[in-house]
Structure 1
């Protein structure tokens, strides 16, 4: 009998552990969600507010905090957030202490179409509606619609990723021939860009021209700058 005692104790301990685990699990499942928290992945201006995200965290017309944990469909809640016009990606999860958390990444506008209709072009090249909460300071786009705005995406994306161009270029205009023209901050000459090709070469040429003309104090002597001729910048004086 003594030889069997260690085995009996082991079985008893395992049964007790299983009972306690099951008891705790049932209590955990039966509890309501304590609170809801929203975390934005980057510190930036909010195109969608925390209050708006909280309103989306609704299931079957009930406040999330009144829902028992085991009945909450996290995939459904996450899908609702991801379908919002201002949200690029959302991850929803429950913490061990019964709190619902939403980690939200907002869409990032890189240009704004103005004219017959107004909307943003986001960093993924998709149409994004304007936000009632904040107006982004991005280059303006003239002569575009939802059907052709993707044509200018490679140019606006390049501008967005370049500090010098972001500082100096205020607008991109689509001409009647389908080519592009750039407008600059505090300078009254236009920059004929041509088609959305050889973008890196054209912008490098422009930056080299700009720095040279600035050094020579000649920026205000030009009426038009043309970037479409390969390795050279063709300037027209006033």
Structure 2
């Protein structure tokens, strides 16, 4: 009697669990048989930069048209593989590929945003993204960003990343300039030698700005602001050829 009672208790517990598992498996199988009805692509973070579009992402999903996904059941391909393929694109910062309840394939992609361009007289130019990644240039679109030059960048182009090791501090300085309305309008080019010494070429005035390293850059920018606000209006905008900010509490004009 006790054994029968125990068996009934076990059956009451186990059977619902088994039924649930079977039901989930059946639903999952049915979901895999659902056809991919439509591909809906959403690209974020473009902000006037159009380095990648819906056609590019469609090409990534279909392997340049060699692999069909439309009107095929989801069991024929893996969404994770498609997601990895989209994420491998240089101008994709992050992407997620999934399906909705109606059978549509959803692609949410975040485009990498360039903040500066590395001018390379011995090879191809590159961009630096707001995440510190090195990006290729595009035949389709040119971003209007500050120009960088100098031997400092050579090693980082090979690594595809500036926000790393000794490049990290310079990246934060470049990002600060890009985000500041005043300085981003003032600076046309940063020339950085292999030691990390910076010369700045302004947009409007003709002075070469000998900036030094990025160490204490906020103090150096404060001195440069004094130069613009007080010295140039009094002495003339093009009187000086050079301004040196490398020495503490000094502005040296030549």
Instruction: Give matches, 1:113-152, under 5 Å.
Output: 113-114=118-119, 115-117=121-123, 118-144=125-151, 145-147=153-155, 150=162, 151=167, 152=170
Q: 1:122: Cα distance to partner?
A: 1.9
Q: Is the 8 A contact 2:43 2:53 kept in 1?
A: no
More strand as a share of residues? 1
Tell whether the 8 Å contact from 2:45 to 2:113 is kept in structure 1 after alignment: no
Tell me, in whole angstroms, the C-alpha distance in 1 between the residues paired with 2:218 and 2:26. Answer: 64
Contact conserved, 1:110 with 1:139, CA < 8 A, in 2? yes
Give ranges in structure 1 of 5+ residues lacking alignment: 1-13
In the alignment, what sits opposite 1:29?
32
SS in 1 for 2:116: strand
CA contact (8 A) 1:202 1:227 kept: yes
Deviations 1:6-26 (A, max 9, x none): xxxxxxxx9xxx899988765
> d(CA) in 2 for partners of 1:34 and 1:135?
35
Corresponding residue to 2:77 among 67, 72, 83: 72
State whether residues 92 and 103 of structure 1, in contact with CA within 8 Å, keep that contact through their aligned partners in structure 2.
Answer: yes
CA, structure 1 residues 153+43, in 2 after alignment: closer, same or farther (shift >3 Å)? closer
Residues 148/212 of structure 1: CA separation in 2 closer, same or farther (3 Å cut): farther
1:36-71 CA-to-partner distances (Å, cap 9, x unmatched) read 111112342211121111110127942221431234
Q: Distance in 2 between matches of 1:148 and 1:83?
A: 19
Query: Post-superposition shift, 1:214?
Result: 5.1
Alignment partner for residue 177 of structure 2, among 148, 152, 159? 159
The equivalent residue for 1:39 is 42
- 1:97 and 1:69 mapped to 2: Cα distance? 12
**How far off is 1:178 after superposition?**
4.5
Quote the residue 1:213 is aligned against.
Answer: 231
Alignment RMSD (CA, Å): 2.8
Equivalence for 1:230: 248
Q: Which residue of 2 aligns with 1:10?
A: none
Shift of the 207–66 alpha-carbon distance from structure 1 to 2, 3 Å rule, reads same
Deviation at 1:230, TM superposition (A): 2.1
- Is the contact between residue 189 and residue 223 of structure 1 (CA under 8 Å) also seen in structure 2? yes
